[in-house]
Amino acid sequence: MQGGSESREAGGLFPDKKSGGRPQIGLYRTVAAFPDGYYMSKRRISEAVVEAVAVDLAGGHSAAQAARNAKIAASTVHLWLDDPAFRKRVRAHQDRMTSRAVGILSRLTASAAYTLGLLLGETMEPETRHRAAREILGQWMNIKTHGELIERLEALEARQHAPVR
């Protein structure tokens, strides 16, 4: 290229000396995953970028948005999503995020139950007391049913994994 800041090599675009030799990450075409990391056109993508993309995807960003945030091509993210190890990494982040959310909700549950209990007080309007009581009983049934389903599922899993005699 005449006067350009990029030169074509081996299936991708590489910066020349005018760009300070810095890789232009979003411009590479060839992407590959190897046991020791992710590469674009023979240039290793930093683990921090791969991790940031996984966290963005786990947090609900689209592949295109995660790619923009990481300054890489969306096609790169889509190729990574074809990799079972990368999808497992995203799921692990989703599991951690869900666990944190459940922890926060668990801490808030006691406060919410207390607030509903206050609404049952004699000084409240009868309709408000009725709605609070119905909400408490409905939530209690949901929690009870959920607990029973978990117990049944665990029993089935234990039977499935039990050694055959």
93-120 pLDDT, tens digit per residue, is 999 999 888 888 888 888 888 888 888 8
* Chain segment 118-151, per-residue pLDDT in tens: 888 888 888 888 888 888 888 888 888 988 999 9
Q: How many residues does the chain have?
A: 165
**pLDDT recorded at residue 7:** 32
Shared domain check, 74 and 25: yes
Shared domain check, 124 and 58: no
Distance from the Cα of residue 130 to its chain's centroid: 39
| Mean pLDDT computed over 46-67 | 94
Q: Terminal CA-to-CA distance of the chain, rounded, Å?
A: 73
What percentage of the chain exceeds 90 in pLDDT?
Answer: 33
How many structural domains compose the chain?
Answer: 2
User: Which residues have C-beta within 8 Å of that of residue 24, sequence separation ≥ 6?
Assistant: 6, 13, 14, 15
Final residue belonging to a domain, choices 63, 85, 107: 85
Structural domain including 146 reads: 120-165
**pLDDT recorded at residue 162:** 80
- Whole-number average pLDDT of the chain: 77
Neighbours of 80 (CB within 10 A): 25
Q: Do the domain assignments include residue 68?
A: yes
